[in-house]
Amino acid sequence: MSDTVTQPHPRALVVCLDGTTNQFDVHNTNVVRFFSLLKKDNFDEQLCYYQPGIGTFLQAGVVEPYLELGAKLLDSAFAWYIDGHVQDAYRFLMQNYRQGDKICIFGFSRGAYTARALAGMLHKIGLLPSDNQEQVAFAYKLYARTDPIGVELAKGFKKSFCTDVSINFVGLWDTVASIGLFSNRTLPDTDTNASIKTVRHALALDERRCRFKANSFYAKPPPEQPESWWKKLLAPPFYFSLNPFDLFVPAPNAASELPEEHDNEFETDVREVWFVGAHEGCLYCRTDVGGGADWNLDKTGQLRNIALRWMVNEVLDADTGIIFKPDSLAEIGLDIKLDDSGMRIPNGKSSLGVVEPELSEEDKEDAIRPIHDSLNFAATPIAPFWWILELIPMSFRYQDKYGKWHSKFAPNLGEGRLIVGDQPKFHESVRERMRMLGYKPAAIWDHHEEYVVQ
173 inside domain? yes
Domain that holds residue 391: 12-452
3 inside domain? no
- pLDDT confidence bin for 225, thresholds 50/70/90: low
Handedness of CA 156, 161, 163, 169 (dihedral sign): negative
DSSP 96-111: H--TT-EEEEEEETHH
3-class secondary-structure state, position 157: helix
Which of 27-41, 47-61, 265-279, 406-420 shows the lowest mean pLDDT across its residues? 47-61
Q: What is the value of pTM for the model shown? A: 0.84
Share of the chain above pLDDT 90, in %: 49
In this prediction, residue 57 carries a pLDDT of: 47
Evaluate if residue 415 carries a pLDDT over 60. Answer: yes
Evaluate if residue 266 carries a pLDDT over 80. Answer: no
Cβ neighbours around 175 below 10 Å, total: 27
341 inside domain? yes
Average pLDDT, the chain: 80
Dihedrals phi, psi of 127, to nearest 5 degrees: -115, 125
Evaluate if residue 259 carries a pLDDT over 60. Answer: no
Residue type, 131: D
| CB-based contact 418:398 (threshold 8 Å) | yes
DSSP 253-316: -GGGGSPPP---SS--EEEEEEESS----STT---STTB-SS-TT--S--THHHHHHHHHHHHH
227 inside domain? yes
- pLDDT confidence bin for 295, thresholds 50/70/90: very low
- pLDDT confidence bin for 219, thresholds 50/70/90: confident
Evaluate if residue 65 carries a pLDDT over 80. Answer: no
Is the model more confident about 114 or about 290? Answer: 114
78 inside domain? yes
| CB-based contact 32:45 (threshold 8 Å) | no
Cβ neighbours around 146 below 10 Å, total: 18
**Residues forming beta bridges with residue 275, ordered by sequence position:** 204
27 inside domain? yes
DSSP 190-238: SS--TTEEEEEEEEESS---GGG-B----SSPPPPPP--HHHHHH--SE
Highest mean pLDDT among 49-53, 165-169, 242-246 belongs to: 165-169
In this prediction, residue 80 carries a pLDDT of: 57
In this prediction, residue 24 carries a pLDDT of: 57
Evaluate if residue 226 carries a pLDDT over 90. Answer: no
Evaluate if residue 229 carries a pLDDT over 70. Answer: no
Overall domain count for the chain = 1
pLDDT digits (tens, 9 = 90+) for 304-361: 899 999 999 999 999 899 999 988 898 898 888 887 777 787 764 444 444 456 899 9
pLDDT digits (tens, 9 = 90+) for 103-154: 999 999 889 999 999 999 999 999 999 999 999 999 999 999 999 999 999 9
Which of 2-11, 221-230, 364-373, 439-448 shows the lowest mean pLDDT across its residues? 221-230
DSSP 14-63: EEEE--TT--SSSS-BHHHHHHHHB--S-TTTEEEEEE-TT---S--SSS
| CB-based contact 22:54 (threshold 8 Å) | yes
Evaluate if residue 26 carries a pLDDT over 70. Answer: no
| CB-based contact 107:115 (threshold 8 Å) | yes
146 inside domain? yes
- Mean pLDDT for 50-77 is 58
- Mean pLDDT for 234-243 is 43
Whole-number Å distance between alpha carbons of 296 and 27 = 6
Contacts of 371 (CB under 8 A, 6+ apart): 206, 276, 277, 278, 288, 303
2 inside domain? no
- Mean pLDDT for 434-445 is 96
Residue type, 128: L
Is the model more confident about 68 or about 427? Answer: 427
In this prediction, residue 136 carries a pLDDT of: 98
In this prediction, residue 210 carries a pLDDT of: 83
